[in-house]
Amino acid sequence: MSPLRRILLKSAGATGALGGLLAAGLLKPTQVLAAEWQRQAFTATSISESLKAYGADNSTESRDIVISAAEISENGAQVPVEITSNIPGNQTIAVFIEKNPAPLAASLSFTNGALPQVRLQLKMAESSRIRVTVKTAEGKTYHANREVKVTLGGCG
Amino acid sequence: MADPIKLRATLQGDTTEIRMLMQHPMETGLRKDPADGKTIPSHFIQNFSLSANGKLLIEGQLNTSISRNPLFTFRAKGLTAGDKVVVSWIDSRGERRSDESNVVTG
């Protein structure tokens, strides 16, 4: 093994897997970590605390947010929900499950031509209201609610 | 290394449907191991990003209440067949995964 190769291997090991990925161009930190995980909002244990920490406690109810889900879901470990926002412009959609141990499930930001809509699967501990909030680029917040019943909880 | 992300981007008319399945246990930290009764520590994807041709489309922050092996469907305008789509995630233990695919005509 040539000394140069040895040095290169050593330095690759020292910077760790992350350095390796960065060097390989697999991960661009500005893309992956552009926004830090909002710990306070995600770990809050009540819907009011969570909305407050997230900054969506004074939102206006909007009919432009459409939440589609089955009224009754058999398996709380996988509740399919489809959300469509008809509010124009770049925005961030957040999903709160009011009665879950930690209500905030996801926060999704849409930009550069991504349509503000998503289909995803949620875990629900029990029947609950799902609250979806939209934060616009101008800083306005809106919300809509939908009740979903589950026959078998999926958080335990 | 974590399991690969399954990624499919299909162009339909002027809209591209992007389906991404990030293989991950998404442990809540509330579940008990049936074998020894001990609580399984939480382990879940915290951040992900979806970009096309180097431009960010969607950035997400997730919690334990997203189902195991999270599957998301998104839609975007302005993409054409052959465009490169990249998904990256990082979880609560700092583990990462990034995969890419190309837009295909549906």
Contact flag B66-A102 (C-beta cutoff 8 Å)? no
| CA A127 – CA A97 distance, rounded (Å) | 9
Q: How confident is the model at residue A155 (pLDDT cuts 50, 70, 90)?
A: low
Q: What is this model's ipTM?
A: 0.96
Measuring CA to CA, which residue among B103, B91, B83 is closest to residue B8?
Answer: B103
Residues in chain B within 8 Å Cβ distance of A84? none
pLDDT computed for residue A152 by the predictor = 81
Contact flag A112-B50 (C-beta cutoff 8 Å)? no
Residues in chain B within 8 Å Cβ distance of A89? none
A vs B: CB pairs below 8 A: 128
* Residue ranges matching CATH 2.60.40.2470 in chain A: 37-150
- Closest CB to B59 among A34, A78, A120: A34
Contact flag A31-B51 (C-beta cutoff 8 Å)? yes
pLDDT per residue of chain B (106 residues) written in tens, 0 to 9 = 689 999 999 999 999 999 999 999 999 999 999 999 999 999 999 999 999 999 999 999 999 999 999 999 999 999 999 999 999 999 999 999 999 999 999 8
Task: Supply the CATH classification number for the domain A37-150.
Answer: 2.60.40.2470
Question: Which CATH number do you get for residue B82?
Answer: 2.60.40.10
Q: How many domains does chain B have?
A: 1
Sign of CA dihedral A107, A109, A115, A116: positive
Contact flag A155-B47 (C-beta cutoff 8 Å)? no
**Could you tell me which residues come within 8 angstroms of residue B94 by beta carbon, excluding any fewer than 6 positions away?**
none
Contact flag A102-B65 (C-beta cutoff 8 Å)? yes
Contact flag A121-B66 (C-beta cutoff 8 Å)? yes
Which residues span the domain enclosing B84? 6-105
pLDDT, tens digit (0-9, with 9 covering 90-100), for A7-48:
444 444 444 444 444 444 444 444 444 578 999 999 999 999
Q: How confident is the model at residue A154 (pLDDT cuts 50, 70, 90)?
A: confident
pLDDT, tens digit (0-9, with 9 covering 90-100), for A97-141:
999 999 999 999 999 999 999 999 999 999 999 999 999 999 999
Q: What is the pTM of this model?
A: 0.86
Alpha carbon A95 to its chain's center: 7
Residues in chain A within 8 Å Cβ distance of B65? 97, 100, 102, 105, 122-124, 155
Do the domain assignments include residue B1? no
Do the domain assignments include residue B71? yes
Query: To probe the interface with B, which of A40, A119, A152 has the most B CB atoms within 10 Å?
Result: A119
pLDDT computed for residue A17 by the predictor = 42
Do the domain assignments include residue B45? yes
pLDDT computed for residue A34 by the predictor = 54
More confident residue, A67 or A31: A67
**Could you tell me which residues come within 8 angstroms of residue A98 by beta carbon, excluding any fewer than 6 positions away?**
A47, A128, A129, A130, A131
Q: Are strands B6-12 and B96-105 parallel, antiparallel or unpaired?
A: parallel
